[in-house]
Structure 1
Amino acid sequence: MNPRQLLIATACLFATAVFAKDDDLDFLFEDTAPEQTSQAPADAPPAEPQPEAGTQPSADEPQPETSAASETDEPIIPDVVPVAPLREEPQPTVVAAPPRRQIEEIVVTAQKTEQSLQDVPLSVTALSGDFIKNTGAADLTDVAAYVPNVRVDTDDPGSPQVFIRGFGTNTFNPSFESSVGFVQDEVFFGRGGYFTESMFDIDRIEVLRGPQGTLFGKNTIAGVFNVTSAGPTEEFSGDARYTTGSYGDRRIEVGMGGMLTDWAGIRVSMLDRKSDGQLYNTYLNRDEEKLDQRAERLKLKLYASDSVDMELTVVDSDTSIAFWPYQLYKLDAGSLAYLRTFDPEVEDQPNDLTSMDTVGYLNKGSTTAGLKTSWAMGDLGGIQDFESVLVVGISQFYIDQLNDLDVSPSDIARLDSHEDHDQRTVELRFTGHSDGLFGLGDRLEFVSGLYYFDSDYAINAKVIAGQDLGSYAVTGDALELISGTSFGGLFGGISLPGLPLLGTITSPLVGDDYYGFDYTQGITAYAAFGQFTWYLNDHWAITPGIRLNRESKDVFAQGGGHCRTEALETCIMQALVQGNPYDYPNLRRNESDISPKFVLQYYWNDDLNFYTSYARGYKSGGFNAISFTGEDIEYEPETAQTYELGMKGKFFDSTLSLNTTLYRTEFDNLQVLAFNGFFFDVSNAASAYSQGLEADFMWLTPFEPLSISGSLGILDARYKGYDSAPAPYGSAQDTQDLSGKRIAFAPSKTATLTPTLSLPLFAGLVTQLSVDVLYQGDQYTDTDLDPNTYVDDYTMYSARISLSDEQGLWAVTFGGSNLTDRRVLNQVTDATFFPGTYFAQLGGGRQLFGSISINW
């Protein structure tokens, strides 16, 4: 018998064992069949009635014995196919069907309890850690490309910009708290800079859209990034991955651990990442995006008893970057002539070259410890599976940076800034369920709790005069900046070779001249929250929820010029920035808020449900941390109301999943940054709205090796009323009416499409090929909607191919992003010191990578 026949015969035997009754298989294990006689026991039940004429007995009913069996005591041999013929002549009708492909269930904690993604009645996109690794994503900017209506810019790691549905916060002014919350391993982090901390050993990332103020932290008015890192597994296991790519990219990521005993487990992981980046400084001959990032995480899992378990997470991260990833854009003739006296190769078109004289840097890092204690109390009165969870977190975060504030080869000014943030959080929550509410309905599930947040933040920053300030002071740009009137430049478009010498001569006179800020802020916030889901019957459920917030801020703010001639009030830098000294030692704000939500959900069946919801969000007000005048430094809180109508379903025997959401969000007192000619002021816009659609799908196609996933975002985000918005520099008016105009960073459409082909090869090898089509709609990249900051829509393509073994113990992957090398502007903002000019940040070009991963 050949191997193929043996395999088929084995499958036939297995199918026979599955579908036959136990009694029918006795002959396989007995020497002889059991004796059967016609004599029934004395206590036997009466004989079964015979079926009526013309009817057939049911296949499930016991069949009457034959007359031959009733007239003899000879044993009856079952009428079966002998074993040997079965092996030689297999019957195809008894071969077991292959297991049916189905989309795996995705479990998320978007409502503070583990749920299937399909059952969560809000717009959520969940990405697994494997997906993140396979796409080569290095940070949340890369991840956001696959999430509809989400934008993350981390070009400035100290001040990332995160937008959901067009709303977010430019955290370049550190007094602004992010409108999009960041939660990792159940700890909420109160500074936007945490978004750019090391991302490694991730289990999943959940992006929750819309106000999430009921259950998550504080100031989550636009949504939440909920990140969960990998924890100890039941069996000891580990994985390691080495990636190398274009522009000196190198990434080593390792994680390993498991249960050491039946009551203790551990997982340790680390990241070592380096990159040269694409932006090259021709003046200093160095890479301006050179990055060195290291991080370690330790997770301990302890089972203190059968009902109490604890998880301790400690993570440390440090990042060092050669810093200021900007280029000058659209210089006028006078500015270009001035700068070319320092560097004849100065350019004003976005490319991969810049020219700056300052050896800038950004060093940032954090140390965080979180302890989660879960106590399963069991049944408590009418409450079943009652559980309490206590999450305590502490974290320290810092940023030290030195920037070339003029982004040029002339040493006009530098920004020297140092930030420190300490926070302490406590969350106590309770979960459980009962059989309805007051005896009504089928089931009730609830989560409720208390939340505490306390933080101390400090920033000390200086705008320091450079040694070329003397030569700059006689340019038309300087006169225009001080007076607000254009003079065309004292030297016009003439390039004077001796001009840098003027700065050198006057440098001793300028001396140590700077305008400085000193700002400290203490925040204390309390909240009580709760929601319950009441399943009225098999089809209908409602989920009301509410959060009560109380927050206080205590602020010390001080600013002013410092120089040798300070007594004469003639500090050069203070005059350039049009600053005034101020001192506010006891600023204070107290705020309260009530944020409700309500969800109505209808389950068509186990695979399809619909929901409609209302949620209110809130983001606290505050004070401008970087003000040059001390005027109008206080800004008010913003609020939002969101309405959603959604559908989540699985179709075609769970081979297709489709989630869609229609929404509308209305904002009041929108917090914005407005350029004042030199820097950014904080203020409140009147009102705005965002409306549109999000959809994502996964399809296991009838062609088994092929699966397709994708997403679509449609976004219409506009100001409802904003008649005193800042006008683009050089406009006839200082303000403009943006009512009805689009909001910046709000592309009208985003879409992704990822077909993946998995094919078995030979010798137990498997290959997988994936292609990403990533579309981004047109958008403005500055709040004043200056036409020069407009970016057209574009499509980028990525691809990767991997070879692995069937068990997934190892894999080799090659891939690339932006394969057509499409170059687009990520952001364009007004430049300091050169009125009418811009700072541009160019998106990355084509990047190729290769990786080796092992699992054990």
Structure 2
Amino acid sequence: MSACKFLASLSGAAVTTAILSAVPAHAQQADMDVIIVTAQKVAADINDVPMSITAASGDMLTKMGVTDASQLGKIVPGFTYNETAYGTPVFTIRGIGFQETSLGASPAVSAYVDEVPIPFSAQTVGLGLDLERLEVLKGPQGTLFGSNSTGGALNYIAAKPTKDLRAGLDATYGSFNTVDLQGFVSTPVTDTLGVRVAARYTRGDSFQKSMTRPDDRLGQKDFLQGRIILVWEPSPIWRTTLNITAQRDRSDSLAPQYIAFNALNSGAAIPPGFINFPRAPEDNRVADWDAGVDFARNNRFYFGSLRNEIDIGENARITALTSLQRFKRYQPLEGDGTPFNNYRAESFGKIDTFYQELRLDGTIGRASYIIGANYEHDYVDDNTIQYYTESSSAIVFGVPLGPTRPNTQQRLNTYGVFANVDYDLTDQLTAHAGVRFTQANRRLLYGCGQDIDGTWADVSAAIQAYLNTLAGNGPIFTPVEKGGCGTIDQDTIQPGGATGTLNQNNISWRLGLDYKPTDEVLLYANVSRGYKAGSFPTLAAATTRQFLPVVQETVLAFEGGFKATLADGAIQANGAAFYYDYTNKQILGRIPDIAFGPLPSLVNVPESRIWGLELDVVMRPLPGLRIHPAVSYINSRLGDGFVNYDSFGQQLDFSGEPFPYTPEWQANVDAEYEFAISENLDAYVGGTMIYQGETSGAFGQYPILSIDAYTTFDARLGVASADGRWRFQLWARNLTDNYYWTAAYRNNDSINRFAGAPRTFGATLNFRY
């Protein structure tokens, strides 16, 4: 069976979406597949879209083992993924990410499901259910998409109901007794109504091994999700799509590896065993954690969207998007990678989102246009119970400190009005222009380090007495009730929660030209200005100063590139060069806290810049053989005059340093050879190499916080029926069991890393009816 036949059998959609699909050995031509994307909110051939985009079908993501965003580096040059110490996923494209731990932090790389924004990174786990395709857009995405982002966007396109009965099952069994079952049923209900139901369940045994307890394991998987999509077409000019999705995650949070001891403060509460705890071995499976603690999450996400499309004549269409979303979080976290209670947390939270968009698109003569408006309302409740009884923070001003509860509630209202026009100056030259006005109003309703057992109330009283003594008032204080707010207003020296508002607006825009000297070549140049909204942090804070927000960041982006189909369709080459000039880039820096020393806090970098190059090539030199190399180079630098605290509490000038989590070089190569075994049976063999260059987990360029370069290899071997009904594949990931890590950071009194995935083997059966 050919890979493209198999892909076509998946969705029954009129559009094929397989940028990576292999050409069978018995094919009579080497032409590339036509890939239709909606990166500009209208359907277009990917080779006609004047921006850098990577697209992959849902089936190819499954085939390559890309089950979530953490593995997108296999197909997207310049993309990196890491998790913060609090388990928040961070997406970075071309060096632009946001290493923020708060639940309500707007990401630099935004995610969408069928153009509906998923506003916060914690909600993005599990978006890959039953996909038609995934589109990864690079660079500022402020003119057309609802959530302004400076780094890029992940646009997940869900598979829709088909015109006839279809069903499918993807069943995987792998290492650590991992079972991954995904299936769908799609059918017409009436002549005007179609339905598609999809579900996925993933479970697996624990794979992390404790350094100190031979029989203790961590890392079990337990993830369940389901979706129903209804498409109603009551007339040829009206189409309604309803998407209802629900998921729950009861998987374990993973433990970091302990690397070194480094006290945040001087404190007698630190046990000698922690100070002398051995460094974790170079083994992806070995770490440690507090004994007897259940690290299973209980996260839930509910998503509903309604899309109405109405044609107005032959050349115009109105589209209305409405979405309601709720995310609820319970996520326990091991913080120090040892059996000591130096730092452990339980994160709670809730996000409620309402989104509405209305737009008109169409064509008038040589011009294609889009005009519209959208509104988003978010409420975010973010709080974390922190345990650190065996740390340097356990005694403050001579007072023993029990658990505390950093807590914020925020309300966000975002309004946008946008317009975009593409005008054909000639048959070969097209001009592009887009603009958006955004008003982002964010209010901190409450921000507090909350007492739990009375000990933080006592510490708050001691800090008040100290501050009042410095102010000449004597050692006076206002008592804090047990369970009350111990955070102190530095102006009034009174306990109470922080409040604040951050109302900002901006005008993002994009101008571009593209030129097609032939039907097979596109040359383009763009200049754009993008913004990312500011935010308030959620963190442990003795004073309200820690809750000061960062203002919006701004980027002026220049990009030039080409897309060329060469050698009679045997080669598709895409390349781009880009330069980003940043103002007020948001980062997670540090601000001195009177009780705990320099603590993480959001700060703005006045000036910074990035420039880079990308090349992505798909080659089919022989029938059945596909080779897909991609490489990116990113040069990032902070501007002059940025002074802040490093991870060890030293105030330094970081001018000229590269961005953390931004390797200069990244590369991936995927190759596959498909051949016919018989008239009814095909076979294929393939593999993927991924290279990530060296980078750092924090400012300061400290070797202990470096993230070394690494290379991993995946392999696959499969057979498939020629009629597209089934495929069986054996696979291996991280075949050489290479030890590597994806994050390095200082957390309380320890230096830690998150190790990469160990070697795994498995088999996958795909069946389509």
| Cα distance, 1:344–1:329 mapped onto 2, change above 3 Å | closer
Letter aligned with residue 636 of structure 2:
A
Q: Aligned in 2, Cα 1:767/1:408: closer, same or farther, shift over 3 Å?
A: same
Q: Structure 1 residue aligned with 2:371, among 448, 452, 469?
A: 448
Q: Which moved more, 1:640-649 or 1:674-683?
A: 674-683
- Cα distance in 2 for partners of 1:564, 1:532 equals 61
Identity %: 22
Kindly provide the CA deviation profile for residues 732-761 of structure 1, in whole angstroms up to 9, marking residues without a partner as x: xx2222211111111111111122111101
Note the alpha carbon deviations across 1:20-68, whole angstroms, 9 max, x for none.
xxxxxxxxxxxxxxxxxxxxxxxxxxxxxxxxxxxxxxxxxxxxxxxxx
Match of 1:599 in 2: 512
Quick check: which one's strand share is greater?
2
Map residues 800-811 of structure 1 onto 2, 5 A cutoff. Answer: 800-811=716-727
Partner of 1:45: none
Counterpart contact for 1:177–1:219, Cα < 8 Å: no
Is the Cα–Cα contact under 8 Å of residues 256 and 334 in structure 2 kept in the other structure?
no
Shift in Å, 1:601: 0.9
Distance 1:679 1:643 in 2: 36
- Which residue of the partner structure matches residue 657 of structure 1? 572
**Structure 1 residue 794, shift from structure 2 partner:** 2.4
Count residues with an aligned counterpart: 705
- Structure 2 residue aligned with 1:106: 35
Identify the range of structure 1 (354-363 vs 183-192) with the bigger mean alpha-carbon deviation: 354-363
Structure 1 residue 838: Cα displacement? 0.3
- Quote the offset at 1:650 in angstroms: 0.8
Tell me the CA shift for residue 411 of structure 1.
Answer: 3.1
Q: Which residue of 2 aligns with 1:434?
A: 364
User: Deviation of residue 100 (structure 1)?
Assistant: 2.4
Alignment match, 2:603? 683
SS in 2 for 1:316: strand
2:692 corresponds, among 770, 776, 782, to: 776
Q: Look up the match of 2:340.
A: 410
Give the alignment of 1:12-23 within 5 angstroms. none
State the TM-score, normalizing by the size of structure 2.
Answer: 0.86
The residue aligned with 1:94 is none
**Cross-structure match for 2:449:** 559
With over 3 angstroms needed to count, the CA separation of the structure-2 counterparts of 1:641 and 1:735, relative to structure 1, is same
Residue 288 of structure 2 is aligned to residue 355 of structure 1: yes
2:420 pairs with 1:531: yes
The CA distance in 2 between the partners of 1:157 and 1:319, in whole Å, is 16
Tell me by how many angstroms 1:847 deviates: 1.3
Partners of 1:362 and 1:98 lie apart in 2 by 48
Q: What residue in structure 2 maps to residue 581 of structure 1? A: 488
Aligned to 1:260: 189
Shift in alpha-carbon separation, 1:341–1:165, aligned structure 2, 3 A: closer
Superposed CA deviations along residues 103-159 of structure 1, whole A, max 9, x for unmatched, are 111000000000000011111111111210111222111123321111122587851
Deviation of residue 310 (structure 1)? 0.5
Q: Which residue of 645, 655, 659 maps to 1:743?
A: 659
Q: Give the structure 1 partner of residue 410 of structure 2.
A: 521
2:475 equivalent in structure 1: none
Partner of 1:668: 583
Which residue pairs with 1:499 in the alignment?
A: none
2:205 pairs, out of 267, 272, 276, with 276
Matching residue of 2:222: 292
Whether 1:850 aligns to 2:763 is yes
- SS of equivalent residue, structure 2 residue 659: coil
2:544 to 613, 627, 630: 630
2 CA distance for matches of 1:154 and 1:341? 28
The verdict on how the C-alpha distance between 1:337 and 1:592 changes in structure 2, with shifts beyond 3 A counting, is closer
Distance in 1 (CA, whole Å) between partners of 2:157 and 2:706 is 36
Structure whose alpha-carbon radius of gyration is higher: 1
CA shift in 2, pair 1:398/1:715, >3 Å: same
Q: CA deviation at 1:662?
A: 0.6
Aligned-pair CA distance for 1:600: 0.7
Contact 1:346–1:355 (Cα < 8 Å) also in 2: no
Aligned twin of 1:611: 524
Alpha-carbon separation, structure 1, partners of 2:39 and 2:712: 31
Q: CA deviation at 1:322?
A: 2.1
1:725 is matched with which residue: 640, 644, 668?
Answer: 644
Residue 634 of structure 1 and its aligned partner are, at CA, apart by 2.2
Q: Does 1:697 align with 2:697?
A: no
Equivalents in 1 of 2:464, 2:150: separation in Å? 37
Q: Which of 240, 253, 258 does residue 323 from structure 1 map onto?
A: 253
Q: Which sits farther off after the overlay, 168-177 or 651-660?
A: 168-177
1:463 to 378, 386, 407: 386
Cα distance in 1 for partners of 2:243, 2:563 equals 34
Please say if residues 405 and 540 of structure 2, whose CA atoms lie closer than 8 Å, have aligned partners that are also in contact: no
Distance 2:408 2:460 in 1: 24
Q: 1:292 to 1:340 in 2, by over 3 A?
A: farther
Matched, 1:228 2:157: yes
> Which runs of 5 or more residues in structure 2 are unaligned?
1-25, 466-485, 490-495, 592-596
User: For residue 521 of structure 1, what is the amino acid of its counterpart?
Assistant: Q
Contact 2:280–2:286, Cα closer than 8 Å, also in 1: no
Are residue 640 (structure 1) and residue 555 (structure 2) matched?
yes
Tell me, in whole angstroms, the C-alpha distance in 2 between the residues paired with 1:569 and 1:345: 29
The corresponding residue for 1:305 is 235
Give the C-alpha shift of residue 779 in structure 1: 1.0
- Note the residue ranges of structure 1 that are not aligned, 5 or more in a row: 1-96, 380-384, 436-442, 485-508
User: C-alpha displacement at 1:679, in angstroms?
Assistant: 4.3
Work out whether residues 664 and 692 of structure 1, in 8 Å CA contact, stay in contact via their aligned partners in 2: yes
Aligned twin of 1:493: none
Please report how far the alpha carbon of residue 276 of structure 1 lies from its aligned counterpart in structure 2 after TM superposition: 3.1
Q: How does 1:12-411 map to 2 (within 5 A)?
A: 99-154=28-83, 158-282=87-211, 285-331=215-261, 341=273, 347-351=279-283, 352-357=285-290, 358-379=293-314, 385-411=315-341
Separation in 2, partners of 1:271, 1:564: 45
Name the SS for the 1:750 alignment partner. strand
Q: CA deviation at 1:611?
A: 0.6
Report the Cα offset of residue 259 of structure 1. Answer: 2.3
Segment of structure 1 superposing worse, 771-780 or 97-106:
97-106
* 1:712 equivalent among 616, 631, 656: 631
| Secondary structure of the structure 1 residue equivalent to 2:701 | coil
Summarize deviations over 1:674-701 as a string: whole Å, max 9, x none: 2565742111112211111122121221
Paired letter, 1:821: D
Aligned counterparts of 1:555 and 1:515: Cα–Cα separation in 2: 20
Q: Distance in 1 between matches of 2:604 and 2:721?
A: 57
Deviation, 1:189, is: 1.3
Deviation at 1:617, TM superposition (A): 0.7
1:538 is paired with a residue whose SS is coil
Give the superposition deviation at 1:548.
0.5
Distance 1:117 1:517 in 2: 46
